[in-house]
Amino acid sequence: MKYYIKKCKHQELGSISEGRASRGRYLFISKDERVLTMFPPLSEVQLNDSSVIAVLPLYSDKKVYCKFVYHNSKIAAPSDVKGRNEYRLYLNKELENEQLLFAADDIVIMRPVEIIGDNDDKQILYLLDLIKDQSSTLYRELNHAVGTSDIRHSRDGHAIYEGELPYFEERAEIRLQKIQEAVVAIDETVTKQIEQTDISTIESLFNSISFRDFVLVGYESICAVTGMVIRHKNLINLEVAHIKPKSHGGSYLPNNGLALCRDIHWAFDKGFFTINDNYEVIIHERITSECLHSYNGKQIRIPKDPFFRPSLDNLEYHRNNVYGLFLASGRL
């Protein structure tokens, strides 16, 4: 078994002072090839290329999505005198249980695991545990691994640990079992309550994480507009868009979501196009993009299960409040 070990540093955790972080919190990820092969590959050409990875913290019952970024301006934009050449995994409130959980000198253990779903869909999840007790045998063992690591710049707290970590694996097995049971429980609850006329009664079951998962399932991981998807191993170019934006009070119910490829998602959020009650794409008259106009008047992919189909109320909201939003910039 191979694990990535990272000892947290004061600076990358936002330089905590008086219980507050002075800037964003993240973990530096080593550029060592043995480490990077564990993570999604990122481009040296695309400026600050990024990917979102699914993390299973072994200390909570959540499945968390974290942003993995290659800050590569030193290579992709060499004219940038303050350019960077570093990988970061950004922390967020869900990963840290709504607190500043990660602290300097804590040790993080990570290992990717491939999960195969009922339809033979594969997903890479990243098991993660946080070791805080510096007096424990496990902490001392991992700290020794960091101190004797052959990874370049190991002073930044990087190490590869090859062997068996029974404590980690026992917790991982329990965690994986729990998440499978949780998915089944939600599925059963949703199936039971779909028949109710008031769909808002199940809104509390969904959050930003389950919203993404369920919408992708509803659209069978295919872009609703283009009908296509680019997939390579654990990489996929799909995102989930809110029809009624969350910032406008939109919900996390799956019928407020669309599975869209990245560029189409961006155009939808900017109001370059909208969707009518017949689920047909309407491109704004001020948009000249031939690519977008090729979808004008075409019906989007409609989920087979009515539960996932876009809410007509949310579509109306998008037409009235988001469609044409790009005009507010004064550039077009």
Query: Max CA-CA distance within the chain?
Result: 66
Phi and psi torsions of 280, nearest 5°? -105, 140
How far is the C-alpha of 50 from the C-alpha of 60, rounded, in Å?
Answer: 25
What integer pLDDT is reported at residue 67 of this predicted model?
87
Q: Which of 236, 235, 234, 278 is nearest to 259 (CA)?
A: 236
How far is the C-alpha of 83 from the C-alpha of 44, rounded, in Å?
Answer: 13
Which token pair is 57? Answer: 């913290």
CA Rg value for the chain: 22
What integer pLDDT is reported at residue 235 of this predicted model?
77
Residues of the chain with CATH 2.40.330.10: 2-180
Helix (H, G, I), strand (E, B) or coil at 120: coil
Specify whether the CB–CB gap between 143 and 107 falls below 8 A.
Answer: yes
What integer pLDDT is reported at residue 116 of this predicted model?
63
With respect to CATH, is domain 2-180 assigned 2.40.330.10?
yes
pTM of the predicted model, to two decimals?
0.62
What integer pLDDT is reported at residue 329 of this predicted model?
59
Q: How many residues does the chain have?
A: 332
What integer pLDDT is reported at residue 324 of this predicted model?
93
What integer pLDDT is reported at residue 181 of this predicted model?
60
Q: How far apart are the first and last CA of the chain?
A: 55
What integer pLDDT is reported at residue 53 of this predicted model?
84
What integer pLDDT is reported at residue 154 of this predicted model?
64
pLDDT of the chain along its 332 residues, tens only? 999 999 999 989 987 777 777 788 999 999 999 999 999 888 888 888 888 788 999 998 888 888 899 999 998 887 777 888 999 999 988 899 989 999 999 999 999 998 765 444 567 889 999 999 999 999 999 999 999 999 987 678 999 999 999 999 999 998 888 766 654 444 444 444 444 434 554 565 577 767 888 898 889 889 999 999 998 766 788 999 999 998 898 998 899 999 999 999 999 999 999 999 999 999 999 999 999 999 999 999 999 888 889 999 999 999 999 999 988 755 44
